[in-house]
Structure 1
Amino acid sequence: MEIALFTLGGTISVPSVPSVPSGGGAGARLSGDEIVAAVPGLRELGVALDVQDVRAVPSASLTFAQVLDVVEDASRAVSEGAAGVVVTQGTDTLEETAFLVDLVWRHEAPFVLTGAMRNPDLAGADGPANVLAAVRVAVSSPARGLGALVVLNDEIHAARWVRKTHSTSTATFASPNAGPVGHVIEGRVRVLTGPPRREVLTGGLERVRLDATRVALHCVALDDDGAQLEVLGQSHQGLVVAGFGVGHVPSVLVPGLEALAARMPVVLTSRTGGGSVLRHTYGAVGSEADLQRRGLINGGMLDPYKARVLLRLLLTSGAGRDEIVAAFAEHG
């Protein structure tokens, strides 16, 4: 049995650097083979690893196109016989890249993303344990058909729900709306519940169109005057609004958002990190019901970051408004 393992840099591959190297370089990084060699018990699994170093960049610098390139390489590996895929990367954008993968991954084989919160030369480095757990999940039968999964801290999270909830904790990844879908216990993969699979987006994701498709994210704040929204109609093709609570914005923003919604898809989400945008509970100006009447699209339970990923892929594929509304009704 073989697993395709792709490395994308991140903390899991970067030893601690006490000071910035002369010349401002990023310092030494571990290769995929070096990461694998540091994992106790991995050899005993009897799993062959096809290790491929894709690019060594902080996850903050990853692009949609780069992630989709990895998906293509992973798809090819599975078509050639790999039982599953593991990707190591930085954790800063892991929740977004995982959801991006989940939206386009068409195989039954597990696609598992993992990383680390502690550098490999620190006491209690979590990278080796996370890689071991990720490989176990990637070869396990219970994980098949679940799409993209995030595995850290011996927890298995569905890409649709997972969030990074703490800046430094090794237990940072959580799924506020659903909890983990499973655990790795004494080396055994226990999947407790399966996330419902949604329709995979497979068409029209040409890189040129992807690069030209811009989706903004505006997080509403107290006494927000909406000045940042004024230029978006000229520079972007879509907008995600992270509103208060169940999907509310200050009334002063409403005319501008209504005008934008007449020109582009504007998706309403919640900035809270958990729960759903409502549909018809409140009716005041700037409420969720009012904003939907003015053309905003309900993002459901998708957080703002995942809503932006979905909207950009939909616009890149040429989806019209009705298709976008239907997609958010399905995925949100």
Structure 2
Amino acid sequence: MTDRHRHVAVFSLGGTIAMTSQDAGGATPTLSATDLVAAVPGLAKTGVQIKVHDFRRLPGASLAFSDLLDLVKEIEALDVDGVVITQGTDTIEETSYLIDLAYSAETPIVVTGAMRNASMAGADGPANVLAAVRVAASAEARGLGTVVVFGEEIHAARWVRKSHATSPTAFTSYPGPIGYVAEDRVRIWSQPVEEPKIPLNQLSNDVRTAVALIGLGDDGAVLRAIGTQVNGLVVAAFGAGHVPMSCVDALADLAKEMPVILATRTGAGPVLSGTYGFPGSEADLLSRGLIPANSLGPVKARILLQLLLMRGADHSEIAEHLSHVH
């Protein structure tokens, strides 16, 4: 059971969990944080004291770095036992990791949302909020960093992915959840190795990054075009870090001008360092100055790259940070 008389702040950012269907067609964010909390059966029985914050009312796809950085600053000023953030599911795998990188205290931060809006049969928002509050209020979650709670599973922000467009069980992670909620109890069985945090002071907003997905037959022309518009690039490569031979020169040239991170587009597993040696292999690309993402996927690698560049980090600092990602 959740400890009674614990205090949890709930921040609503919008998204499907805060949407209702409109007569004109389509669902839009209309529910406040108070509305969301009021719709959760059994929440009062937990004994947790809830304070709501109606922070944003935006679709998940419209949240920006500035929204999340402002949110972290507000959370840092609170004296609570835990924090729950409700938002659109489109960007949860990115926002949760951003918060995890930026927030250094041991207070649990739990991100959740819904795949079905409040007007639909089987809306999953109330159950997800209840489970998220239980996790945020629990002693077991302290020191875990930011987690995502969905379908009563607890996922580490570093590993979680939205792996289905519509399913209520859309959120998965490799190597799997780090815990779950059952019979009102929070049960944790693993914890990621701690990653260095990125302080929020002295950040520059004049930074642009992108993910370039490598596909069959790519010749490097698109990579060069993207390179003219960004300060840093993440390459979502084949397999363990491979690209067509025709892309090698473009990536080598870009790596001389900016940090270029080599990630795998597969969804799980690491970028290798020396197993293959053909032109366009991981060993070839790393020898040309690309930085290995290790086990960090391309979407999250871009979040990390963006924050580090906003702090003015150079190639060696970015490589050092990524060396701690397992």
TM class by shorter-chain length?
Answer: over 0.9
Give the conservation status (yes or no) of the 8 Å contact 1:204–1:318. Answer: no
Q: Tell me how far 1:245 sits from its aligned partner.
A: 0.7
Give distance in 2, aligned partners of 1:203 and 1:319.
13
**Cα deviation code 1:208-253 (max 9, x no counterpart):** x1x2111121000111122222234432110000000111001101
Q: Which residue of 2 aligns with 1:302?
A: 296
Q: Which residue of 2 aligns with 1:38?
A: 39
Give the conservation status (yes or no) of the 8 Å contact 2:241–2:272. Answer: yes
- Asked if residue 202 in structure 1 is aligned to residue 199 in structure 2, the reply is yes
Determine which structure has the larger strand proportion and give its number: 2
Q: Which residue of 1 aligns with 2:54?
A: 53
Q: Tell me how far 1:48 sits from its aligned partner.
A: 1.2
Q: Which residue of 2 aligns with 1:20?
A: 25
Q: Which residue of 2 aligns with 1:185?
A: 182
Change (3 A) 1:233 1:221: closer
Residue pairs, 1:170-319, within 5 angstroms: 170-176=168-174, 178-206=175-203, 209=204, 211-319=205-313
Q: Tell me how far 1:331 sits from its aligned partner.
A: 2.1
Give distance in 1, aligned partners of 2:254 and 2:195.
29
Give distance in 2, aligned partners of 1:123 and 1:27.
17
SS of equivalent residue, structure 1 residue 56: strand
- Asked if residue 116 in structure 1 is aligned to residue 114 in structure 2, the reply is yes
Give the conservation status (yes or no) of the 8 Å contact 1:87–1:112. Answer: yes
Residue pairs, 1:106-185, within 5 angstroms: 106-176=104-174, 178-185=175-182
Give distance in 1, aligned partners of 2:254 and 2:201.
25
* Pairs aligned (count): 321
Of stretches 190-199 and 272-281 in structure 1, the one that deviates more from structure 2 is 190-199
**Cα RMSD between the aligned structures?**
1.3
Q: Which residue of 2 aligns with 1:327?
A: 321
Q: Tell me how far 1:18 sits from its aligned partner.
A: 5.9
Q: What amino acid is the match of 2:44?
A: R
SS of equivalent residue, structure 1 residue 55: strand
Q: What amino acid is the match of 1:167?
A: A
Give distance in 1, aligned partners of 2:28 and 2:14.
12
Give distance in 2, aligned partners of 1:43 and 1:291.
56
Give the conservation status (yes or no) of the 8 Å contact 1:204–1:316. Answer: no
Q: What amino acid is the match of 1:202?
A: P
- Asked if residue 9 in structure 1 is aligned to residue 14 in structure 2, the reply is yes
Change (3 A) 1:18 1:224: farther
**Cα deviation code 1:39-65 (max 9, x no counterpart):** 000011111111011110001011111
SS of equivalent residue, structure 2 residue 20: coil
Q: What amino acid is the match of 2:295?
A: M
Aligned residues: percent identity? 51
Of stretches 119-128 and 240-249 in structure 1, the one that deviates more from structure 2 is 119-128
SS of equivalent residue, structure 1 residue 327: helix
Give distance in 2, aligned partners of 1:92 and 1:103.
19
Give distance in 1, aligned partners of 2:310 and 2:70.
16
Q: Tell me how far 1:94 sits from its aligned partner.
A: 0.2
Give the conservation status (yes or no) of the 8 Å contact 2:93–2:162. Answer: yes
Q: What amino acid is the match of 1:288?
A: E
- Asked if residue 66 in structure 1 is aligned to residue 67 in structure 2, the reply is yes
Give distance in 2, aligned partners of 1:204 and 1:312.
14
Of stretches 195-204 and 50-59 in structure 1, the one that deviates more from structure 2 is 195-204
Give the conservation status (yes or no) of the 8 Å contact 1:4–1:82. Answer: yes
Q: Tell me how far 1:194 sits from its aligned partner.
A: 1.6
Residue pairs, 1:88-103, within 5 angstroms: 88-103=86-101
Change (3 A) 1:27 1:119: closer
Q: What amino acid is the match of 1:182?
A: G
TM-score by length of 1: 0.94
Give distance in 1, aligned partners of 2:130 and 2:309.
37
